[in-house]
Structure 1
Amino acid sequence: MKSEVKDNKPGIFRLKKVYARQPTTEIKVDRGRYTKDEEDREIEKEELTDGFRYGTTFVPINKETLDDMKYHSEKCFSIIGFSDANMMRRSLYLGDTVYEVIAEPAYEEEGQVFAGIVQAMYDTNTVAIVRKCFSERSSPELGFLRPHIAHDHMCMYYVKLPFAEDLRGFDFDNLDVIKRNQPSDEQLKTIDNLITTMDLTHADQGEEAFQPEVVFNPYIQRMFQCIARRAVTPDEPLSLSNTIEEMNNTLVQSIVAKSKRTLDTVHEEFVLRETERRQKITTGDQLFGSDDHLTKKLRLEENENIEEPTTDSTSFEAQSAAKKKAAMRTIGTITPVEDFKILIEQGSPSFTDVCKQMSTLILELINNSRGDALQAANIDGRKDFWAKIVDENISLITSDECIESNVIPIEAKKFLEEETANEMLNNALGTNEEDGDDEDLFDLI
């Protein structure tokens, strides 16, 4: 015995091809296969064979090989073992059919044994893992039997379970980790009100609306109405009014009208804004720029041991550059960018230590800059330095660039406005005059 829920597809939808003016005329369908070349030769049916894709190659499989590939099994419905019922999560249920397993009424002894198994499984909250194979040519299935006891009726329900190949895992970010994703009390209250106003329990004149047993498929109803109208009045147009759909639309509109105020509150509490994420830099060339010919050649010589014909002067320069790289451990003030690239490339010190060195050097250059004192380092003083930051549009790190940031793009844009910049610079200069110490400009950013 089984009970199933499937889409209703009436046989009337499988229309046959007919010729309306001469119904007795037989319609023949002719199919042909041709080669995709200049010959355009027709391929006979005997020349065709099944093929399976293996990567970019099609592997032909003839009928004999295909028969040998089929899985052969025995018809069975046997218990493999038992498991805790809590392990059978609803997300593991597979298929669209649930079978009811009962004892054979004609065999009393087997019925007693079956009742004992069901009672024991029910008392221990246990399910039975079974292997089901409908016939020798069928694929085996994995499922479980859940005991069911109601009054004087005792049975077990069979539900199909997935194999490892049937499982599809999807990983999503945890919304609770980021603080700005936490809903406020007002937002939670708004959603509660929305659920209450859209409750269908008493929406239809005090009764539940859209009950499954009284809601019909409008597509099927429309098809039946059209066929009935065409059979009765073949010459009149199909101008039908769908009474069922009109009643449903009226009920839906009344529910929407009651929920309009709550929906407006939802739009106010949950503001949507468009965000643009920058593309992540993943390659070394994109992060540090393209290498020159000498650096690329050294990398080939060291890692891949590829020899290139070079002159004596080029070989001497390469050896000198290699010695310089090997001896370098810190970033200098003369060519800090080149030193940073070399240290990152050779991997020693670590990436974190190199970044700390670069950060310390930048702060030192900014704090010690006075007008034209460090023209070689492209720093023209605090005011000129701030002007360069504004021109390059280098502002605070926003939430679009880093999810851990609490700064929105509007605040970052406002940070670079002229009034804010002048105010911060004046505060910085005033602090320097009073204390005589250099203020760290990055503390202001």
Structure 2
Amino acid sequence: MLYQPGEKCLSVYGFTHADNISWQNLTGDGLSYVFARKGDKNAQKAIRCLVECLHELNLVGIVRKVHNNNNAPKMFALMPVIDTNNYVCLSMIALSYKEEIKQMSFPATNLKKYSCTPEQVNAFKDLINAMDLTQAYDDTYDDKEAFPIAECISPAAQYVLDCIAFRALNPGKPLPKPREEVMSLFQVPPLLEENARKPIEKIKSLFTLNKVEVKKRKNKNVVLDIDQIQAPLGDFQPDTTDIPNMPKVQLPINENEVDNIHKISTINPVEDFKVLQGKNKPLSELAPGMIKSN
């Protein structure tokens, strides 16, 4: 029996405190916004009232959405959004189901084999503090932070825009190199570089690096080259030095059966090989038969 979600809808199931919705519970491909119907004053008043109530009480709404008829339903969280210009709306993001949340277990990192001394741990803490991007410049600058997220541009996108503008104004000239403003985004601020020198030297002295030689694995599957065989297989004599007085068994071969042997069989491949070799069969034809008989 299949579950029937029903027709297309967006139904409110209830409300909960915003602290009950953590980022681990969020899923989906992006964020959607819910606005009031354009030109409908009653809908605009209802959305504004709902947004202000959710904002004042620190609540979020839990809604069920069916995108199309008989599509799988999804749960979403409605969160209030109030713009700086007092423009209100609701942001909607999908919630994950219980079976979608996976508890990942990782091995312990505090192993005795890789344990660090307090001095080594403090050395790394000093390096982290020395490379703090919020204190990348001295007091001569208005802003001490380096690469602020709200103001930092994408160097790749900026260079593409520069190339498009340059190509429009100079169709026949080669594209220029990135500007210094773009390349400065790849450079470490001088103050951070200077502050990090001492912690780095201290880490080098506290941690000793040993070169590990990687042993090459021997290939067990040795390919037999027919051209490298010096003596024919018929002259091969088994080594019986380790087994004294080992009896040798000679199997009788009928002459009629000898004439009927045209290829190496899996029952008695050695005798078949000797018979075919006696018929002046070349080794290049006998070798594949010996391989198949094994």
TM bin, normalised by shorter chain, reads 0.5 to 0.7
Give the match for residue 50 of structure 2.
Answer: 114
| 8 Å CA contact retained: 1:82, 1:129 | yes
**Paired position in structure 1 for 2:9:** 76
- Measured in 2, the distance between the counterparts of 1:252 and 1:237 equals 31
Q: Which residue of 2 aligns with 1:26?
A: none
Determine if the alignment matches structure 1 residue 94 to structure 2 residue 23.
no
**Aligned in 2, Cα 1:161/1:257: closer, same or farther, shift over 3 Å?**
same
Kindly provide the CA deviation profile for residues 256-302 of structure 1, in whole angstroms up to 9, marking residues without a partner as x.
343122123234445566889xxxxxxxxxxxxxxxxxxxxxxxxxx
2:158 is aligned to 221
1:229 is paired with a residue whose SS is helix
The structural deviation recorded for 1:142 is 1.7
Query: How many Å apart are 1:210 and its aligned residue?
Result: 0.8
Q: CA 1:204 to 1:136, structure 2 compared with 1: closer, same or farther past 3 Å? A: farther
SS of 2:41's partner is coil
Q: Is the 8 A contact 1:77 1:131 kept in 2?
A: yes
User: Deviation string for 1:104-157 (max 9, x for gaps)?
Assistant: 7722884697369637xx64x654332123443765322223457899887654
Q: Aligned partners of 2:80 and 2:171: how far apart in 1?
A: 56
Instruction: Provide the C-alpha distance between the structure 2 equivalents of 1:227 and 1:261, rounded to a whole number of angstroms.
Output: 44
Once residues 73 and 218 of structure 1 are traced to their aligned partners in structure 2, the CA distance between those partners, rounded to angstroms, is 48
TM normalised by structure 1 equals 0.37
1:132 alignment counterpart: 65
Whole-Å separation in 1 of the counterparts to 2:208 and 2:163? 46
Q: 1:172 aligns with which of 106, 125, 128?
A: 106
Partner of 1:201: 134
CA-atom RMSD in angstroms: 4.1
Shift of 1:187: 2.8
Preserved CA contact (<8 Å) 2:61 2:79: yes
Q: For 2:118, which of 159, 175, 185 is the aligned residue?
A: 185
Q: Secondary structure at the match of 1:144?
A: strand
Q: How does 1:8-87 map to 2 (within 5 A)?
A: 73-83=6-16, 85-87=18-20
Deviation per residue, 1:423-444 (Å, 9 max, x gap): xxxxxxxxxxxxxxxxxxxxxx
Distance 1:227 1:140 in 2: 45
Distance 1:85 1:226, change over 3 A: closer
Residue type of the alignment partner of 1:266: I
**Residues 241, 144 of structure 1: CA spacing in aligned structure 2 closer, same or farther, 3 A cutoff?**
closer
CA distance in structure 1 between the partners assigned to 2:107 and 2:179 by the alignment: 45
TM-score, with structure 2 as normaliser: 0.52
The Cα of 1:179 is off from its aligned counterpart by 4.7
Taking a change above 3 Å as real, the CA distance of residues 272 and 158 of structure 1, as seen in their structure-2 partners, is farther
1:41 is aligned to none
Q: Which structure exhibits the higher relative contact order, with contacts defined as CA atoms closer than 8 Å and separated by 6 or more residues? A: 2
Which shifted more, 152-161 or 222-231? 152-161
Unaligned runs of 5+ in 1: 1-68, 277-445
For the 8 Å contact 1:74–1:135, the answer to whether it is kept is: yes
Q: Deviations over 1:347-366 (max 9, x none)?
A: xxxxxxxxxxxxxxxxxxxx
State how far apart, in whole Å, the 1-side matches of 2:13 and 2:211 are: 54
C-alpha distance in structure 2 between counterparts of 1:110 and 1:230, whole Å = 51
Partners of 2:164 and 2:51 in 1: how far apart? 52
Partner SS state of residue 95, structure 1: strand
| Inter-CA distance 148–236: structure 2 relative to 1 (3 Å threshold) | closer
Compared CA separation, residues 242 and 73, structure 1 to 2 (3 A): farther
Determine the C-alpha separation between the residues in 1 that align with 2:87 and 2:132.
Answer: 35
**Structure with a larger share of its residues in helix:** 1
Report matched runs for 1:227-376 at 5 Å.
227-252=164-189, 255-270=192-207
Residues 118 and 148, structure 1, Cα contact 8 Å, conserved in 2: no
Alignment partners' CA distance in 1, 2:36 and 2:173? 59
Please give the alpha-carbon distance, in whole angstroms, between the structure 1 residues aligned to 2:46 and 2:172.
66
| Equivalent residues of 2:66, 2:72 under 8 A apart | yes
State the percentage of identical aligned residues: 25
Change (3 A) 1:75 1:271: farther
What is the aligned length? 203
Taking the aligned partners of 2:89 and 2:123, their CA distance within structure 1 comes to 45
